[in-house]
């Protein structure tokens, strides 16, 4: 026997409509203090890499490099004709090719997370111990620092070197994708830019054989 005071309500939570569902939209401004709190909530998002760029982080963002030893790769790359944002990965078989060898740059390919935006990219960081070029040493120092802190790298034309800055107030940590895999990132980043034979179009160009 049911208690006379008991009311049975059928339906799911999605069937229950809020009391102010028919209220005019401008009523949102009636409670300013509540709005101040909810309107400033920061939304974090994990970005799934689909297109992966291979380049030095831009000078108007801050970045972190993944500290895990399995999230970097020491390798040799070639610079493209249009500058520092055009890299070709060279497989071991081609390292001693006569047009490749003098142009090789030994790097550590690092996995980068940028702020703002949360974009994941790859950065071929020069191995500074093998060069006397100051800006490469600065880039390497920024890479090591970025494993723990948010860093910005900006070119100083007067010094012909990079200025390395540390962010003053970024409190968040990188939100790396759950399925982060450097192998997949390398395949995306170096798609069509893997020098695996003397017939690669860029090698043909360097040999003076391209059309």
Nearest partner of 90 among 80, 73, 102, 104, judged by Cα? 104
Tens digit of pLDDT for each residue in 64-83?
Answer: 999 999 999 999 899 887 65
Separation CA 154–CA 137 (nearest Å): 14
Work out how many domains the chain is built from and give that number. 1
Peptide bond into 58 cis (omega under 30): no
Q: State the pLDDT at residue 23.
A: 67
- Has residue 69 been placed in a domain? yes
Separation CA 99–CA 195 (nearest Å): 12
- Has residue 111 been placed in a domain? yes
- Has residue 5 been placed in a domain? no
Q: Which residues pair with 194 in a beta bridge?
A: 89
**HEC sequence for the chain:** CCCCCCCCCCCCHHHCCCCCCCCCHHHHHHCHHHHHHHHCCCCCCCCCCCCCCECCCCCCCEEEECCCHHHEEEEEEEEECCEEEEEEEECHHHCCCCCCHHHCEEEEEEEEEEECCCCEEEEEEECHHHCCCHHHHHHHHHHHHCCCCCEEEEEECCCCEEEEEECCCCCCCCCCCCCCCHHHHHHHHCCCCEECCCCCHHHHHHHCCCC
Q: What is the pTM of this model?
A: 0.74
- Has residue 68 been placed in a domain? yes
Q: State the pLDDT at residue 61.
A: 95
Nearest partner of 108 among 173, 63, 151, 56, judged by Cα? 56
Q: State the pLDDT at residue 46.
A: 55
Here the tokens at position 163 are 């200025």
Q: State the pLDDT at residue 24.
A: 75
Average pLDDT over residues 79-107: 85
DSSP class of residue 48 equals: P
Nearest partner of 163 among 175, 151, 173, judged by Cα? 151
Average pLDDT over residues 161-167: 95
- Domain containing 89 equals 62-207
- Has residue 129 been placed in a domain? yes
- Has residue 96 been placed in a domain? yes
- Has residue 104 been placed in a domain? yes
Percent of the chain exceeding pLDDT 90 equals 49
Percent of the chain exceeding pLDDT 70 equals 73
Separation CA 174–CA 144 (nearest Å): 16
Tens digit of pLDDT for each residue in 4-38?
Answer: 443 333 343 344 444 455 667 666 667 766 755 65
* Average pLDDT of the chain to the nearest whole number: 81
Residue bearing tokens 């990219």: 121
- Has residue 150 been placed in a domain? yes
């Amino acid at each position: 026997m049911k208690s006379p005071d008991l009311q049975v309500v059928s339906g799911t939570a999605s069937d229950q409509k809020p009391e102010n569902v028919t209220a005019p939209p401008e009523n949102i401004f009636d409670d300013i203090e509540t709005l101040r709190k909810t309107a400033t909530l920061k939304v974090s998002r994990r970005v799934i890499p689909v297109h992966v760029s291979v380049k030095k982080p831009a000078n108007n963002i801050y970045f972190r490099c993944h500290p895990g030893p399995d999230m970097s790769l020491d390798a040799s790359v070639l610079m493209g004709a249009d500058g520092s944002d055009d890299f070709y990965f060279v497989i071991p078989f081609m390292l001693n090719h006569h047009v490749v060898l003098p142009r090789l740059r030994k790097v550590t390919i690092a996995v980068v997370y940028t702020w703002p935006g949360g974009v994941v990219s790859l950065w071929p960081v020069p191995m500074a111990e093998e060069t006397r070029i100051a800006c490469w040493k600065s880039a390497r120092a920024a890479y090591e620092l970025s494993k723990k802190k948010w860093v910005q790298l900006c070119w100083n034309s007067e010094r012909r070197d990079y200025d390395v800055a540390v962010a003053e107030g970024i409190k968040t940590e990188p939100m790396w994708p759950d399925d982060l895999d450097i192998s997949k990132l390398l395949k995306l980043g170096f798609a069509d830019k893997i020098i695996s034979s003397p017939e690669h179009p860029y090698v043909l160009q360097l040999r003076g054989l391209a059309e």
